[in-house]
């Protein structure tokens, strides 16, 4: 089985009462993307955000390197697992992974270390897998809810 061509990974927290400044302070790291419920989606439209968000993305990797991407995110943030568990109890927290295949039958494995890190932080993990025959405009993963 060949390795997945490219991977994207991010840790995300969402919630109506989410204050991105508080999450930044607690995790000790600035977000890649952040907003409050009610913020404008775009200055050109009057559409407002339905929930608040704090998202920290790792650099995309080619070939796939989900373990290394998550390790880099967790190394940039607090090691205090109580902080993570508190955030996960108050907000919807997860890890998003986008996997972009070059050919059919590519795969990957998550290490036990990564799985333990996710469990210790009370985070679910989701995978969006894009097959190599997708149209180019459909290859952009939605990194927010």
Higher pLDDT, 1 or 108: 108
Which residues touch 44 (CB under 8 Å, ≥6 apart)?
none
- 74 in Cβ contact with 117 (< 8 Å): yes
Q: What is the pLDDT of residues 107-126, one digit of tens each?
A: 899 999 999 999 999 999 99
Q: What is the pLDDT of residues 53-107, one digit of tens each?
A: 999 999 999 999 999 999 999 999 999 999 999 999 999 999 999 999 998 888 8
Q: Name residue 46's beta-bridge partners.
A: none
- 73 in Cβ contact with 58 (< 8 Å): yes
For the chain, give every domain's residue range.
2-138
**Virtual CA dihedral for 53, 58, 62, 63, nearest 10 degrees?**
-90
Counts for the chain of helices (H) and strands (E), in that order: 4, 7
């Amino acid at each position: 089985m060949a390795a997945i061509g490219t991977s994207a990974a991010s840790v995300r927290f969402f919630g109506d009462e989410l204050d991105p400044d508080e999450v930044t302070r607690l995790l000790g790291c600035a977000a890649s993307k952040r907003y409050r419920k009610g913020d404008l989606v775009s200055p050109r439209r009057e559409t407002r955000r339905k929930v608040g968000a704090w998202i920290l993305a790792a650099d995309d990797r080619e070939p796939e390197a989900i373990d290394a991407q998550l390790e880099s995110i967790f190394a940039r943030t607090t090691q205090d697992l109580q902080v993570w568990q508190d955030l996960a109890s108050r907000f919807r927290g997860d890890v998003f992974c986008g996997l972009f295949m070059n050919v059919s039958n590519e795969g990957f494995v998550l290490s036990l270390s990564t799985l333990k890190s996710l469990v210790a932080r009370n985070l679910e993990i989701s995978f969006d897998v894009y097959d190599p025959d997708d149209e180019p405009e459909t290859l952009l993963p939605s990194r927010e809810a």
